[in-house]
Structure 1
Amino acid sequence: MRARIEFPEVRNLTWTDQGTPPAVDASGETDYGGIDALFRDGPGFHIEGDWGSIDVVSGAPRIIWS
């Protein structure tokens, strides 16, 4: 099952350490890798993965299953 995380009402976003370029999986789709860490950090959220680190101040995140 696939899912995505949406951060509504973004007020500030900083993306650092933009790691390696995304891979292409066996089906030919772009694969950005997984989320290694996701936690609340003061007024916002911190997310880490192969694609770098993102600090975002927004409304509560929503998980959308597809």
Structure 2
Amino acid sequence: MHYYDETCFADIYLEDSYVLAIEEAVSTLSLVMELVLLESHSLYVKPASDEAYCYRNAHIHFCLTQRVIWHQRSVLVSRGANGDTDLGNVDVFRIEGATYHLKGDWGSVSVTCGTVLVDYEGSPHT
């Protein structure tokens, strides 16, 4: 299943979104993101004249993790145009049941979890 088939990702374009950080806790893996919102997203606003997309800072939380397997990790960090840390994009995001497979310049991970939430800065959970 593709990421956009999951309700919480339906109006997001991950291919041009940026991973700013990765946070791990006992039962949660979170990606700190600068997400590209599609026009169909309820938080969409017309992008600035120098931007190609509507970006919104958010966290993707993989909650109630049962298993997190890192296949590869990278410590490469670059700076985005605005000076923020940029770990790269999410190049692969596949879903197989309760397992999410993600890959990018930052590494490759498989996460089996109970639920996924997208938490937008300044907004309630989506």
In terms of fraction of residues, the more helix-rich structure is: 2
- Aligned 8 A contact 1:20 1:50 in 2: no
Residue 6 of structure 1 corresponds to 61
Q: Does 1:22 align with 2:92?
A: no
Unmatched segments (≥5 aa) in structure 1 = none
- Distance in 1 of aligned mates of 2:58 and 2:88: 13
- The two structures, once aligned, show a CA RMSD in angstroms of 1.7
How does the TM-score come out when normalised to structure 1? 0.79
The structural deviation recorded for 1:28 is 3.2
- Distance in 2 of aligned mates of 1:41 and 1:18: 21
- Distance in 1 of aligned mates of 2:104 and 2:96: 16
Between the two proteins, the alignment pairs up a number of residues equal to 66
Q: Which has the larger radius of gyration?
A: 2
Unmatched segments (≥5 aa) in structure 2 = 1-55, 122-126
How does the TM-score come out when normalised to structure 2? 0.46
Alignment equivalent of 1:35, drawn from 87, 90, 96: 90
Deviations 1:1-55 (A, max 9, x none): 1222100011110112223512122443211112112121244111111111110
Q: Structure with the greater relative contact order (CA < 8 A, sep ≥ 6): 1 or 2?
A: 1
Q: Between the two proteins, what is the percent identity of the paired residues?
A: 29
Q: Does 1:57 align with 2:112?
A: yes
